Homo-oligomer: A and B are copies of this chain.
Amino acid sequence: RRFVLGARDLVDSVAAHSPARFALIVFSLAICIFTALLSLPVAATSGRATPLYDSLFTAVSAVCVTGLTVVSTATHWTFFGQVVILVAVFVGGLGIITLASVLSLAVSKRLGVRGKLMAQQSMNVETSKLGEVGTLLRTVITTSVAIELLLALMLTPRFMILGEPFGQALWHGIFYSISAFNNAGFTPHSDGLVPYETDLWILIPLMLGVAIGSLGFPVVMVLIMARNNVRKWTLHTKLTLVVSAILLVGGTVAWAALEWDNARTIAELSIGDKVIHALFASVMTRSGGFNLVEQGDMESTTMLLTDALMFAGGGSASTAGGIKVTTIAVMFLAIFAEARGDTEVRAFGRRIPEGVMRVAISVLVLGATLVSLATGALLAISGATLDRVLFESISAFATVGLSTGLSGELPPIGKYVLSALMFAGRVGTITLASALALRQRDQLYHYPEERPIIG
């Protein structure tokens, strides 16, 4: 008992003093455990131990809710293996949401009373309720499980109608609901969602789950609490919803326009099915990772569009990856402010502090640098073409999971590079942003101002 208390004190102390380091440790530990479990002979249908580069890759992909695979989820792994993957997705998803929320709270505590009030406001929960990590975790778990159960309830009957026995239909319902809400993109069917490509009863719950999951916990809480009372919405909620809507509609229109006559993908389909495919692609590209068409069969222009949408990603403190929609919002607001000649960056009647802009630049530049370096390394390792390598790198960085199949073709060293990229993309962006925001302090003395020429 003394040992447990001691360990708990240690955890509390690390979490309080260096939340970013705490995040790294927790995620690394989780990945080690799931790698060990997936390496067991009982996890593979072959009955033999899966090599480290494949089990590590799968564990990282699951814990980071990426969904990239190097072996078929349906045929390589046993039921035990699939359960391990699903648990890893569930734990990883909860961990990411909780961690990002805790870090946002930690930022708010350092920001003094005013910042604290704002952050509580942005979580839309009372101080007393969110004071402890435990309470926050409970709220996150309750909300997540409730939404996942709802999705599973919608999906299971459909799989039964399609002829699956109850047990299997329930398993598939649960698997897809957890995979969707956590933006993980793993599928338990060997040919993925392709057999259901016109089945709205399956596609709509998946799109709903992914879309809600990608908004992020702070936004979901505001929507649950404040409902359609827009005046109570936080700035963060408004920015997230507006940019998500723009990317969703813009992505759908652009995807449809580029693929409309592509005989390898949707040219043969009815107009209604084409629109569904475009909408589905637009929802899934920003982190869900499910796909209805072979990604390598898309036009090269569509792959470029997909690259851009994947890099953008979803909402902060969500299971979606990428540089996040608020980062994009803040950058464009800064540009509009410049164009109008304003000295303040404003949105919805609020002023966005200057420090936020610098965090946004940092996240953008870090992301672009990581993707560029990984692309360079994988070009050298795989000898594949730039379009495929860039696609796989951005998919890994933004934990999307869409793929032209390159991950599976890579030699072990390439799989380790992608594993590292998934980890850095997932844990890196959330911890970096909070670590940076946490360190902000006022300077005691000021330097004289001087203006370099830009552009």
Known: A299-B380, A439-B338. A316 touches B386 (CB 8 A): no
B447 touches A344 (CB 8 A): yes
Q: Determine whether A385 belongs to the interface, using a CB cutoff of 8 Å to chain B.
A: yes
Encode contact with B along A331-357: 1 for CB under 8 Å, 0 otherwise: 110110111111111100111111111
Most buried by B among A301, A324, A451: A451
Q: Does A35 contact B (CB under 8 A)?
A: no
Q: How far is the CB of A152 from chain B (nearest CB, A)?
A: 29
Q: In whole angstroms, how far apart are the Cα atoms of A92 and B426 in the complex?
A: 47
Decide if A337 touches B358 in the complex (CB within 8 Å).
yes
Inter-chain contact B386/A304, CB cutoff 8 Å: yes
Contact assessment for A452 and B386 in the assembled complex, using a CB-CB cutoff below 8 Å: no
| Shortest distance between the CB of A366 and any CB in chain B (Å) | 8
Q: Is the interface of A mostly helix, strand, loop or mixed?
A: helix
Q: Which of A293-309 contact B (CB under 8 A)?
A: 299-301, 303-305, 308
Q: How far is the CB of A304 from chain B (nearest CB, A)?
A: 5
- CB contacts (< 8 Å) of A385 on chain B: these are 300, 385-387
Q: Interface residue count for A (Cβ, 8 Å)?
A: 94
Measured in the bound complex, the distance between the Cα atoms of B454 and A438 in whole Å is: 13
A442 touches B386 (CB 8 A): no
CB-CB under 8 A from A365, the residues of chain B are 331-332, 335
A343 and B111 CA atoms in complex are apart in Å by 13
A224 to B386, CA, bound (A): 44
**Interface residue? A206 (CB, 8 A):** no
* Listed A/B pairs (20) with beta-carbon separation below 8 Å: A100-B453, A122-B450, A218-B453, A235-B450, A236-B452, A304-B372, A330-B454, A332-B365, A334-B358, A335-B358, A338-B355, A338-B440, A341-B436, A341-B439, A343-B443, A349-B447, A349-B448, A350-B448, A354-B354, A429-B455
> Known contacts A218-B453, A326-B453, A352-B449; can you find 20 more A-B pairs with CB under 8 A?
A111-B451, A118-B449, A118-B450, A240-B452, A301-B376, A308-B372, A316-B455, A317-B453, A323-B455, A339-B362, A344-B446, A350-B448, A356-B451, A359-B455, A360-B361, A360-B455, A386-B387, A429-B455, A433-B454, A437-B454
